Amino acid sequence: MKQKDRHLIFHVSPQCVKSSRGQAEEQKSHIRELDRIYRADGRANETTEETERRRSEDRLRIIARRNNMSAEETQQRYSDDRLRANARRNSMTTEERRSEDRLRTIGRRNNMAAEETEELRSDD
């Protein structure tokens, strides 16, 4: 499927404008679902470089979206993240939790070592 064929154009008649909000939301949901399907179809045929580029663009979009969040939205996101993390940890076995804690400790040490190395380089 060619790139230009992926987007559908909808004409909104005056009757549609008067239609209920639920119908508009349903239409938006349908369009999002079609877009998701088209993206998934395209991903099946993409190269490693294209996958990396797409992931990088996705990360940049997430960062931009978070930069535009209000303080309340940011607080809500942090709260949701904490709840998800707690739920995940609660479903882990003791050994899985210990293993994750060890990995986190190693990661912190590596970050500290990298920062110290960077400081030494900047002192030279």
- 78-88 pLDDT, tens digit per residue, is 899 999 989 98
The residue assigned the tokens 């395209």 is 42
**30 DSSP assignment:** H
pLDDT at 104 over 70: yes
**85 DSSP assignment:** H
| Per-residue pLDDT, 96 | 92
| Per-residue pLDDT, 83 | 93
Q: How confident is the model at residue 1 (pLDDT cuts 50, 70, 90)?
A: very low
When computed from its CA atoms, the radius of gyration of the chain, rounded to whole angstroms, is: 23
The CA angle 64-81-85, to the nearest 5 degrees, is 140
| Phi and psi at residue 52, to the nearest 5° | -60, -45
